[in-house]
Amino acid sequence: MQKVLLKDLSEFAGNVLATVWMGGPQHKATIIALRGDLGAGKTTFVQALCKRLGITATVQSPTYVLMKSYPLEGPTTTFGAPRRFNRVVHIDAYRLEKPQEFSALKPEQFLQDPSALVLVEWPEKLGTLLPKPTLTVVFSAEAAGEGERYIEVI
């Protein structure tokens, strides 16, 4: 676990993206599972990561809508690297009650898409509906001081 201050979250998100990039192109979507208790910092991390990818839209928690999708445009990232992803799909499964609610989103359309980066809060609520994540990031506010979090990439 690494202590990450809010001001360093953007750099941390950049490192996570670099890890994903180093993994090379995938045949299916790249899935990042975000684990941690309520208020541990999952959505804040998604916001930092989206900003890093050049998304200018306001990224809000999709708690009630379950999923939000943000297009990524142009051939390169804001950092000049070739663009690997054409969209970020942000899922918050916290309020999911039945698997059918997830199936109704036609998840195969983005889970099979190699140019989709799928970020999932509360992945444990999806059980076997979610394929094995490419990466898991674990967040903890426990034992963290004000304005900091412990974060681990698995």
Ligand X SMILES: Nc1ncnc2c1ncn2[C@@H]1O[C@H](COP(=O)(O)OP(=O)(O)OP(=O)(O)O)[C@@H](O)[C@H]1O
**Residue 113 vs 121, nearer CB to Mg ion:** 121
The interface with ligand X within residues 66-95 (CB under 6 A) comprises 94
What is the C-alpha to C-alpha distance for residues 77 and 115, in angstroms, rounded to an integer?
A: 13
What is the C-alpha to C-alpha distance for residues 126 and 131, in angstroms, rounded to an integer?
A: 9
Q: Which does 21 bind (CB under 5 to 8 A by kind): Mg ion, ligand X, none?
A: none
Q: Which of 19, 26, 61, 140 is close enough to bind ligand X by CB under 6 A?
A: 61
Q: For 76, phi and psi rounded to 5 degrees? A: -130, 165
Q: What is the chain's percent helix, strand, coil content, to nearest 5?
A: 30, 25, 45
Considering only 13-21, 32-40, 72-80, 112-120, which stretch makes contact with ligand X by CB under 6 A? 32-40
What is the C-alpha to C-alpha distance for residues 58 and 5, in angstroms, rounded to an integer?
A: 21
Residue 43 near Mg ion by CB under 5 A: yes
Q: Which does 39 bind (CB under 5 to 8 A by kind): Mg ion, ligand X, none?
A: ligand X
